[in-house]
Structure 1
Amino acid sequence: MENDRAPGSLAEVLADVAAERDAQDRMWGVQEFPDGSGPEFAESAERAKRECAAAWSRGELTWRHILTEEFFEALAESDPSALRTELVQTAAVAVKWIQSLDRRHGATAHQTRAGSGRAEKLVRDRVPEIIRVDGRLPETRTAPPDEHAGLLRAKLYEEAGEYVASGDPAELSDLLEVVHALAALHGVTPGELEEQRSAKAAARGGFSNRTVLRLKE
């Protein structure tokens, strides 16, 4: 059985990874972003595969070659299941690389980053007032229109992630507030948005029947 404390042990590396994830969660909270991956990275993935194979044939294979291949293979995926598989493989190679480093150079204590989190974030309009009432002095600025749109999209993922993580239906009101703010950017009022939702429900139905469609491969 592997010695959990030996340099290069899987348990030691995974403990460091878990500690880093815990530190990131404390700093940033639940984060949700679009994947940003897709077939536009397929050429980069093929190039990374060729470079990895060539390095192997020359006897010059490095961890950099292997991790780069796995990383670009992940970037080239858009199907969630395939993307997840590639990300797990990428993470596994990164862990193996750390183990190799530890075996060659000895394990070092991992230092997680300290901090209070992101320097800025979009908040509801009355939050600065609430902070002042609490006796504190908030530092604020007004985002320009283009930045505001991007901040709202990020906020949409943040609020959706908080609901997914907690399952608390109260989080849905925050999500709805962001949806209304995004709709307003497009000149759509809450009433018009509800009309659009209602029309789509009449034409295509809602989700109350729990219907799952099996897709043909």
Structure 2
Amino acid sequence: MGERPYVLLSCGMSIDGYVDDTAAERLLLSNEADFDRVDEVRAGCDAILVGAATVRTDDPRLLVRSAERRARRAARGQPPTPIKVTVTSSCDLDPAARFFTTGDVTKLVYCASGTVELARKRLGDAAEVVDGGEPVDVHRVTADLHERGVGRLMVEGGGTMHTQFLSAGLADELQLVVAPIFVGDSRAPRFVHDGVFPWGRDRRADLASVQQIGDVVLLRYALSDRYAG
């Protein structure tokens, strides 16, 4: 395996493992204290990655919210918010999405080899389009990010991205927040999809810490010997 960034997966889910429900309005699974914690984690990373479905569905800005944290990054010679990264097979992306229009920072789109030219025409100057392989290979994505100087990568979803990074053995840490609700609807999106994962019947993931944050619980799992603690 080539060199790659330290990869931290971050997700909030219901007690029954869902990351949203089927309503039009996004389900907020966390609370203000935990949102602030996530903002601190973002501020400590070089890049934030989400899948194209998350860009389409949630229209996230993926910015560091705290002015103080943005200032600290600037004082270290970093952009005020981490590089934004998305991964897509079809490039069904709107250049007017907030992923592209907010934040004075590099935006990278890794797409399948066969859609590179289409993606460049569709997105124009909104982002740099990078050939991610056919199909897109997360090993290739992380190797390219490493070459661009990304030392710490935060993966915020969705389920396809979490599944790919976990099943590929590319995750060093998982920060999983459990909210005190049930969704109870099999049509709703889950934390991960079907896959073959390194952790299962014969190998249990290492639970590094448990922290109560108001009415949610943060579980931190060390998934490799690179775990930063």
After TM superposition, the score normalised by the length of structure 2 is: 0.25
After TM superposition, the score normalised by the length of structure 1 is: 0.26
- In terms of Rg, which structure is larger? 1
Kindly indicate which of the two structures has a greater share of residues assigned to helix.
1
Kindly indicate which of the two structures has a greater share of residues assigned to strand.
2
